[in-house]
Every structure is written in structure tokens, then in C-alpha cells.
């Protein structure tokens, strides 16, 4: 099989392993999808791969339920560098204002990857948050949201940010969405990376 096809398969496998191992709490294998200098940018935590894993483990131990589901995938490669985009949903279950809810956020993982010593690994994962919704587990039950808090966050992930802020996370309020200057800057950064410039 041509090298390009093999590299694309390896990247897709890495992306799928990220979701499966993270959501299963398989932290040792989850660490292997990252390079040592990898960085994760999420609504609720931004930091190195090791910091993200530590925060995820702490949340896991406290019963925080955040799951991921993957869809379509595209990867652009140039030499030992790649930008991958993968459709995804983030699903989080919690109790907010004494009502148990599910929040589902749809978007894309936008990944900066590099092949080092024959192995692809993540250098930067920046989710793009396109739209989200909140549903009570008991149909028809009202959830008395604070409109001022909800309005603090971008439309693409405002319900996700709402519940995460309510359980104590310092949510980042300027993540890229479907449109706007934040996502355009991310695309420019991806083009720059593929052109050989530093991340």
C-alpha cells in the first residue's frame, strides 16, 4: 500500500484510539497517542497532554461523565506533518439546578500531528464547537437556566459551558465555532503548520 494511504490509516487509527481509550479510562494507552510536547485545548481545561490526562483522571474519579463519538474524517498531509479534522460529538451528563440533563455538543476535532521516528502523534488538539443542546432526562421537565450565565458563552457550546462552569470548571469563553475570527485563525494556523512553519 502506498505510504500516503498507510499514513492516513495510521492517523485515523490514532484519532479513534483517542476517543476509545479516553472514554474508557485507559490512561496508559491514551498517553501513547500524544507526543511528549502535545497540548490539549478543551472548554474545561487547556494544557499539556499530561495535564489533560491528570485532569481527566480526577474528573473520572469524581464521576464526571464526558463521552465522545466520532464521525467523518479528513486528513491533509505534507511530509511528516498533518492536519486532521474529524466530526465528533461530546456528550456530558450531570445534574444542574437539581435536574439531571444530557448535553450534546457537535463539532470537529482539529488536530495538528507530526510523524517522529516513524510514529504519528498529536501535537495540538483544538476542538471546533459548532452547536449544542441540553435535554432533561425526564422529558418535559423544565431546567431553570440562568440567562446571564448562558449568554457569557459562544452559541456553539453555551450549554456545555454552562454545566461545566456549574460543576466548577473555569471554562474558556473564546473557543472556535463554525464561523468567526477564532476558527479562521485556526485554519490559518493549520495552513502555516503544513507549510513548515513552527507551531
Report which of 128, 162, 155, 165 is spatially closest to residue 41, judged by C-alpha positions. 128
Cell of 46: 487547556
The architecture of the domain spanning 3-188 is Roll (3.10)
Helix (H, G, I), strand (E, B) or coil at 174: coil
Give the percent of the chain with pLDDT over 70: 99
Average pLDDT of the segment spanning 173-180: 97
pTM of the model: 0.95
What are the backbone dihedrals phi and psi of residue 40, each rounded to the nearest 5 degrees, phi first?
Answer: -115, 130
With helix as H, strand as E and coil as C, how does 68-125 read?
EEEEEEEEEEECCEEEEEEEEEEEEEEEECCEEEEEEEEEEEEEEEEEECCEEEEEEE
Q: Evaluate if residue 87 carries a pLDDT over 70.
A: yes
Q: Evaluate if residue 17 carries a pLDDT over 80.
A: yes
Q: How far apart are CA 161 and CA 134, in angstroms?
A: 11
In the chain, where the domains are located: 3-188
Average pLDDT, the chain: 96
What are the backbone dihedrals phi and psi of residue 178, each rounded to the nearest 5 degrees, phi first?
Answer: -65, -35
Average pLDDT of the segment spanning 130-142: 95
158-168 pLDDT tens trace: 999 999 999 99
Per-residue model confidence (pLDDT) at position 12: 98
Burial of 166 (C-beta count, 10 Å sphere; 0-12/13-18/19+): middle
Contact by Cβ (8 Å): 101, 82? no
Per-residue model confidence (pLDDT) at position 1: 56
Helix (H, G, I), strand (E, B) or coil at 164: helix
Per-residue model confidence (pLDDT) at position 2: 76
19-75 pLDDT tens trace: 999 999 999 999 999 999 999 999 999 999 999 999 999 999 999 989 999 999 999
Q: How far apart are CA 74 and CA 56, in angstroms?
A: 27
pLDDT band at residue 183 under the 50/70/90 scheme? very high
What contacts 157, CB < 8 A, 6 or more positions away? 43, 105, 107, 129, 132, 175, 177
Amino acid at each position: 500500500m502506498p505510504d500516503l494511504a498507510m499514513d492516513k490509516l495510521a492517523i485515523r487509527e490514532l484519532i479513534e484510539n483517542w476517543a476509545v481509550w479516553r472514554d474508557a479510562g485507559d490512561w496508559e494507552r491514551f498517553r501513547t497517542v500524544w507526543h511528549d510536547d502535545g497540548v490539549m485545548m478543551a472548554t474545561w481545561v487547556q494544557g499539556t497532554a499530561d495535564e489533560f490526562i491528570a485532569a481527566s483522571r480526577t474528573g473520572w474519579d469524581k464521576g464526571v461523565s464526558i463521552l465522545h463519538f466520532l464521525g467523518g474524517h479528513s486528513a491533509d498531509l505534507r511530509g511528516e506533518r498533518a492536519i486532521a479534522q474529524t466530526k465528533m460529538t461530546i456528550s456530558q451528563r450531570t445534574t444542574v439546578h437539581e435536574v439531571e440533563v444530557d448535553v450534546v455538543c457537535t463539532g470537529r476535532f482539529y488536530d495538528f500531528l507530526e510523524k517522529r521516528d516513524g510514529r504519528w502523534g498529536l501535537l495540538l488538539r483544538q476542538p471546533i464547537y459548532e452547536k449544542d443542546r441540553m435535554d432533561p432526562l425526564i422529558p418535559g421537565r423544565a431546567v431553570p437556566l440562568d440567562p446571564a450565565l448562558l449568554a457569557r458563552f459562544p452559541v456553539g457550546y453555551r450549554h456545555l459551558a454552562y454545566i461545566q462552569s456549574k460543576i466548577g470548571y473555569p471554562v474558556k469563553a473564546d473557543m472556535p465555532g463554525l464561523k468567526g475570527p477564532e476558527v479562521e485563525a485556526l485554519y490559518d494556523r493549520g495552513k502555516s503548520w503544513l507549510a513548515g512553519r513552527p507551531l
